[in-house]
Amino acid sequence: MPNRPCAIIDLAALKHNFSVVKQATPYAKIMAVIKANGYGHGMLAVASALSDADGFAVARLEEAITLRNAGYSKPIAVFTGFTSTEELNTFAIYDLDAVIHSEYQVGLLDEVLLPKPISIWLKINTGMNRLGVEPSEVQRINDRLTLCGMIRQPIKLMTHLACADDMRSLHTEQQIELFDASVVGLSGEQSIANSAGLLGWQYAQRHWVRPGIMLYGGSPFCEQSALELGLKPVMTLNSQVIALRTIKKGDYVGYGASWVADKSCLIATIGIGYGDGYPRHAAIGTPVRINGQTAYLVGRVSMDSINVDVSECRGINVGDQAVLWGSDLAIDEVADKSGTISYDLMCGVTERVKKITKPITYDE
């Protein structure tokens, strides 16, 4: 184990999580969402382990080009689509699926002469109010697109759910109803569900599902753990204990002297901080695992280190490995203690953390 923070990426766990998606949705095609560098895991490593996916989705055109150039020939959808005719040309050249979410993009399609027609998803705003055309405009825009020679027919149809992480929310049903009402009579393939959507609302599965977080072993629900869903953590973030010190009652730890010991304790300093992507807002008491035991964060998170109380742990030595999240410690628990979500933690791991990809072995 190197003497610096490292993120171990377990591709066998990723493959396992893909099989959980497959089981939950045996009839839909799976578009594996690998935007933001595969949620921080390394896009190409992730893609290599998802050879059974029917397609991939990324957020930006550059990510899609990287994926195509690496030799992937399956459909690749780009969620943000294009903003210029130059970009449109690139979609055609690389055979990428564009998401049309605003009518100005239809105008660009009317203007351009592409080397070959492109495949598109028409995205409908059913309530999220981020990207998508209005439900009342779908039929009219579809008619416009049908006349456009640069598009493969039939046009595919999608929307995105705003509250699928909350199984009790009524918004999801309303969004699905609005989607269905707006696409009456259209024959293109449909896609509605992200991870939470496909697990929580079977009738949202349609032709294509778009799982992201569950592939990486994060729970898409606020009230159900990844373990309960049968998901395995793909990323394990590690670092070393770099110092140990005994402090006495009344001593403080870290910037701002925000934490004061109410008794004598043993403090371990671990070589990881917000400069590595450990959340600066992690609360006092956030768990860290060392040698199979739980220690608790004390004081503020620094750029390069954190401090944990190991008074209740046995046999802790300088050089021991600490797990910040992953195997042994659910990332959702750390995210929760930090006022954020697992997505944010995964994507936030910085460049200086060494990524070690654990390949899939034959017995897995």
Which residues contribute to the site for ligand PLP (CB under 6 A)? Answer: 33, 35, 79, 160, 194-196, 210-213, 220
The amino acid at residue 108 is: L
**Least distance in Å: CB of 71 to ligand PLP?**
24
Q: Is residue 4 exposed (0-12), middle (13-18) or buried (19+ Cβ within 10 Å)?
A: middle
Contact between 68 and 76 under an 8 Å Cβ cutoff? The reply is yes
Token reading at 50:
């998802």
Phi, psi of 125, rounded to the nearest 5 degrees: -85, 105
Which residue, 33 or 324, is less far from ligand PLP as judged by CB? 33
- What is the Cα–Cα distance from 207 to 204, expressed in whole angstroms? 9
Contact between 58 and 34 under an 8 Å Cβ cutoff? The reply is yes
**Least distance in Å: CB of 111 to ligand PLP?**
26
Which residue, 105 or 195, is less far from ligand PLP as judged by CB? 195
Which residue, 200 or 273, is less far from ligand PLP as judged by CB? 200
Active site residue 35: yes
Token reading at 188:
């293109």
Residue nearest to ligand PLP (CB): 212
Active site residue 255: yes
**Least distance in Å: CB of 318 to ligand PLP?**
38
Which residue, 220 or 277, is less far from ligand PLP as judged by CB? 220
C-alpha 270: how far from its chain's center?
A: 26
Write down the catalytic residue from 203, 249, 255, 354. Answer: 255
**Least distance in Å: CB of 261 to ligand PLP?**
40
The amino acid at residue 58 is: V
Token reading at 33:
């969402």
Which residue, 236 or 342, is less far from ligand PLP as judged by CB? 342
Write down the catalytic residue from 15, 35, 156, 337. Answer: 35
104, containing H or E segment: helix 103-111
Phi, psi of 22, rounded to the nearest 5 degrees: -55, -45
SS3 272: coil
**Least distance in Å: CB of 18 to ligand PLP?**
13
Q: Is residue 3 exposed (0-12), middle (13-18) or buried (19+ Cβ within 10 Å)?
A: exposed
Catalytic residues: 35, 255
